[in-house]
Amino acid sequence: MNRMANAENTRKRILDSAAAILRHKGLAGAKLSEIAEGAGMLAPSIYHHFGSKDILVEKVMMEGIYNNSHHIVARVERLGPSATPLVRLRTAIISHIEFLLSGDDYSSAVARVFDDLPEEMRRRVLAAYSSFDNYWRDLIVAAQADGSASKSLDATVVRKFLIAMLDSCSSWYRPGKLGPSEIAEQAASLLLDGFASIDSEKT
- 3-state DSSP percent of the chain in helix, strand and coil, to 5: 75, 0, 25
Answer whether residue 73 shows pLDDT above 90: yes
Pair 70, 119: CB distance under 8 Å: no
Euclidean distance between CA atoms 77 and 41, whole angstroms: 41
Comparison of pLDDT for 47 and 175, the residue scoring more: 47
Q: All domains of the chain, ordered by start, with CATH?
A: 52-202 (1.10.357.10)
Residue-level pLDDT at 149 = 92
Pair 111, 171: CB distance under 8 Å: yes
Instruction: Quick: pLDDT tens for 38-52.
Output: 999 999 999 999 999
Answer whether residue 203 shows pLDDT above 50: no
Please name the residues in contact with 140: beta carbons below 8 A apart, sequence gap of 6 or more. 89, 149, 155, 158, 159, 162
Comparison of pLDDT for 7 and 149, the residue scoring more: 149
Instruction: Quick: pLDDT tens for 14-43.
Output: 999 999 999 999 999 999 999 999 999 999
Q: Which of 95, 118, 75 is nearest to 169 (CA)?
A: 95
Euclidean distance between CA atoms 3 and 49, whole angstroms: 13
Give the pLDDT mean for 142-150: 93
Comparison of pLDDT for 194 and 79, the residue scoring more: 79
Instruction: Quick: pLDDT tens for 116-137.
Output: 999 999 999 988 888 888 999 9
Answer whether residue 70 shows pLDDT above 50: yes
Residue-level pLDDT at 108 = 84
How many C-beta neighbours within 10 Å does residue 19 have? 28
Q: Which residues of 161-190 are buried (b: 16+ CB within 10 A; e: fewer)?
A: ebbeebbebbeebeeeeeebeebbbebbee
Euclidean distance between CA atoms 193 and 23, whole angstroms: 31
Instruction: Quick: pLDDT tens for 75-115.
Output: 999 999 999 999 999 999 999 998 888 878 998 898 889 88
